[in-house]
Structure 1
């Protein structure tokens, strides 16, 4: 069996708020709670398991999602409709712009806890990539 990412834990100040935020913007559904986790599962069966951080500080992480061109338009439309500031770059130095790396499109924005979210329509290095 090839190695596949199955799930990752996303620490949040409010797991329900964060799970709802991701699900609404990405066009996914919040799944039933499993133990302390509130999962949002992507189309390739990777679960983002949202967990309350409690008193521990949250270290911002980066979550990138590969999407089709039509999905990009839908998600980006929801990002703009929500009034979120978006950027063409992960350092957030190009606000209000998208990028066109590798012949695709990409955009970044922050979740309620400062995690950096990204949607891209092409793998990075897609021109020379075989898979």
Structure 2
């Protein structure tokens, strides 16, 4: 049996703003239209399909594994935008990097309140 995640829909108020936010911070190619959605393609073949929806938008969590060399440039872009970030999903450790077991990770909110996580394993 082979099961793989192919895509997930990300509910948002403004799909262009939300998709552009993610591709800018992560250094990804621009989103592409597919029907009523804007698709952000990730390197492992999974996509996030941004779809406009009326508020309220239920907050979700999306975690992105990045190469060790990509972590610092992403963190710099988070800081340059003046975004709040935390070392924990409960948002109790502001402006810190989680370094548990040699990994690095940070959490931050996207424009619709989805909790995003970026982490590298070394």
* Greater Cα shift, 103-112 or 24-33: 24-33
Please name the residue that 1:121 is paired with.
Answer: 120
How far the C-alpha of 1:94 sits from its partner, in A, is 0.6
Distance 1:78 1:45 in 2: 24
Structure 1: any 5+ residue segments left out of the alignment? 124-131
Please name the residue that 2:85 is paired with.
Answer: 86
1:43-81 Cα offsets, whole Å, 9 max, x none, are 111110000013x42100000001111110111111111
Distance 2:47 2:18 in 1: 14
How far the C-alpha of 1:122 sits from its partner, in A, is 2.2
- Asked whether the equivalents of residues 18 and 112 of structure 1 are also in contact (C-alpha less than 8 Å), the reply is yes
Q: Which structure ranks higher in relative contact order (CA pairs < 8 Å, sequence separation ≥ 6)? A: 2
Distance 2:81 2:61 in 1: 20
Residue 97 of structure 1 pairs with residue 96 of structure 2: yes
Number of residue equivalences = 122
Distance 2:94 2:39 in 1: 30
- Asked whether the equivalents of residues 88 and 99 of structure 1 are also in contact (C-alpha less than 8 Å), the reply is yes
Residue 65 of structure 1 pairs with residue 64 of structure 2: yes
More strand as a share of residues:
2
- Asked whether the equivalents of residues 30 and 38 of structure 1 are also in contact (C-alpha less than 8 Å), the reply is no
Please name the residue that 2:28 is paired with.
Answer: 28
The alignment's TM-score, normalised by the length of structure 1, stands at 0.88
1:56-113 Cα offsets, whole Å, 9 max, x none, are 4210000000111111011111111111011000011110001012211000000001
